[in-house]
Amino acid sequence: MERNHGLDSAATTENMSTALSEKEEDRREREHFIDVLSALACYMPFMMNEVVRRKRHFERLSNTRLERLPGGAKGATSVLDNMIRAVHQNSAFLHHICLNPNSYHDAFRTSQHEWDMIPAVVAHMQRIRTAKDLDAKKVFKYAGKPHHMAKVKGTLHQCYREWSAAGSLERKQAFFPLIEQLQKHMPVTSQNKNQLRVLVPGCGLGRLVLEICSRGYATQGNEFDYFMLLTCNLLLNGTDRKNMYSIFPWIERRCNVYNRADVFRPVTFPDVCPADLVSKNPGYDMSMCAGEFLEVYKSHTECWDAVVACFFLDTAPNIFTYLETIHRMLKPGGILTSIGPLMYHWASGTAAEDTRYGESIELSYDELRHVVESYGFRILHEERRVCQYAVCPGSMLQTSYNAVLFTAKKKERTDPKTQTAPDSTRAAFK
């Protein structure tokens, strides 16, 4: 199994393999995997602390003030009751992710007691059904690390983005322009159906991989985050019908709620059964490759027709390494198409937390474009696109990026600049 699934260690990808023995790497990787499962499994106490906090703060209000709320004191309590119901439902889904059979459980020989809450705690949590069952002074202990608990919440948001009907706007903004670029610059024909090899690095929950595959490309998704990999595994391999799951991705929201009902609106998914999506393309070729992008593809040379990067390039601590890998792995004439902002993931933080923070290179788009061309790519298309990323509908905070969509072609061996004319949109780029 590939290692280094976004480990929390302070070692870089490059020096990890040399600095640590293989046994030590395996031990760390297993420990990290167990930590991820523990974080998913302890969502309930983590979120119950939030319910307790709200209950405590409400209890400090005088009755007169409570009565000013919609529905009075009862209204306030019923908001907490709804929240508790939603926490139970999210927790059941997250548990399902952990328990769904997957190759990691086999490879690491995990047993449930290593990551799940102890049965007495589970039983205690299960008895909490309404706000009355909660002691406002209670603080629940849980095993998850703080940044992992943020990822648990992010996993629920990502289900919304990639797999719900409600998330289709975000997919229209980001996934479909990439697919259009691919189809335009590397079209599927009856001769090459299921033969053009397309890689989607940082593929999250795999929806873009499936969409591309269903259009006749031999597609591989790559992802290194166990939160994503485990959830993707459930969605792709443990889902046999539409709208099988229902969660409340936004219940943790404290601020910018316009309408209380917005955070209690359930999100059902998947909006399409994954098997139905790919069955549009008989003989399809789709795979997932788990592991750190640079590590996994380090020996791939001129064997991919296209790389489709969606909100991915800025995950690089050092974007030169990503570009060099992409350039090397593409066949001559192959294309890179990318959409996203430049929200460099390793831009703020300290090298003491993780050495990747100490390496971060933050290029502007014009600098990046220059660097891309310097590797021997020719820009075929570029434009600005408004994109949102896992935004709660109805929220008063609607972050959107004025992102860049660009497509670049690796020079043909013999070609130079005459083979593919740049789009007319190139000139319209602002």
Ligand X SMILES: C[S@@+](CC[C@H](N)C(=O)[O-])C[C@H]1O[C@@H](n2cnc3c(N)ncnc32)[C@H](O)[C@@H]1O
Is 221 a binding residue for ligand X by CB under 6 A? The answer is: no
Out of 161, 327, 356, 378, the only residue in the binding site for ligand X (CB under 6 A) is 161
Nearer to ligand X, 84 or 210 (CB): 210
Which strand ranges, in their side-by-side order, compose the sheet holding 304-310?
A: 286-290, 218-223, 197-201, 304-310, 330-340, 400-410, 377-388
Is 226 a binding residue for ligand X by CB under 6 A? The answer is: no
Out of 102, 239, 315, 337, the only residue in the binding site for ligand X (CB under 6 A) is 315
Token pair 């919304």 is found at 160
Nearer to ligand X, 37 or 117 (CB): 37
Is 338 a binding residue for ligand X by CB under 6 A? The answer is: no
Q: How many residues bind ligand X, per CB under 6 A?
A: 19
Is 233 a binding residue for ligand X by CB under 6 A? The answer is: no
Is 284 a binding residue for ligand X by CB under 6 A? The answer is: no
Structural Rg of the chain based on CA atoms? 23
Binding range to ligand X, per CB under 6 A, among 67-75, 124-132, 219-227, 237-245? 219-227
Is 222 a binding residue for ligand X by CB under 6 A? The answer is: yes
Nearer to ligand X, 83 or 199 (CB): 199
Distance CA 362, CA 346 (A): 9
Buried residues in 355-376 as b, exposed as e (16+ CB within 10 A): bbbeebbebeeeebbeebeebe
CB of 71 to ligand X, least distance (A): 38
Residue list 185-214, contact with ligand X (CB under 6 A): 201-204
- Paired with 306 in beta bridges are 198, 335
Q: Which residue is nearest to ligand X (CB)?
A: 202
Is 153 a binding residue for ligand X by CB under 6 A? The answer is: no
Assess contact for 319 and 341: CB atoms under 8 A. no
Binding range to ligand X, per CB under 6 A, among 90-98, 239-247, 306-314, 420-428? 306-314
Burial level of 333, CB count in 10 A (0-12/13-18/19+)? middle
Is 79 a binding residue for ligand X by CB under 6 A? The answer is: no
CB of 242 to ligand X, least distance (A): 20
Is 29 a binding residue for ligand X by CB under 6 A? The answer is: no
CB of 293 to ligand X, least distance (A): 3
Nearer to ligand X, 36 or 131 (CB): 36
> To 5 degrees, how large is the angle CA 198–CA 374–CA 323?
35
| End-to-end C-alpha distance for the chain, whole angstroms | 44
Nearer to ligand X, 161 or 378 (CB): 161
Is 25 a binding residue for ligand X by CB under 6 A? The answer is: no
Question: Shortest CA distance to 31 belongs to which of 57, 5, 12?
Answer: 5
Token pair 């209950």 is found at 55
Binding mask 165-184 for ligand X (x = CB under 6 A): ---------x----------
Out of 209, 286, 310, 330, the only residue in the binding site for ligand X (CB under 6 A) is 310
Q: Which are the contacts of 22, defined by CB distance < 8 A and separation ≥ 6?
A: none
Question: Shortest CA distance to 91 belongs to which of 129, 41, 39, 151?
Answer: 41
Q: Which are the contacts of 198, defined by CB distance < 8 A and separation ≥ 6?
A: 182, 212, 217, 218, 219, 220, 304, 305, 306, 307, 308
Binding range to ligand X, per CB under 6 A, among 177-185, 261-269, 307-315, 405-413? 307-315
Nearer to ligand X, 29 or 162 (CB): 162
Is 312 a binding residue for ligand X by CB under 6 A? The answer is: yes
Token pair 């409600």 is found at 166
Distance CA 236, CA 274 (A): 6
Out of 58, 311, 346, 401, the only residue in the binding site for ligand X (CB under 6 A) is 311
Q: Which two tokens stand for residue 29?
A: 């990787």
Is 382 a binding residue for ligand X by CB under 6 A? The answer is: no
Is 225 a binding residue for ligand X by CB under 6 A? The answer is: yes
Q: List residues near ligand X by CB under 6 A.
A: 6, 161-162, 174, 201-204, 222-225, 228, 292-293, 310-312, 315
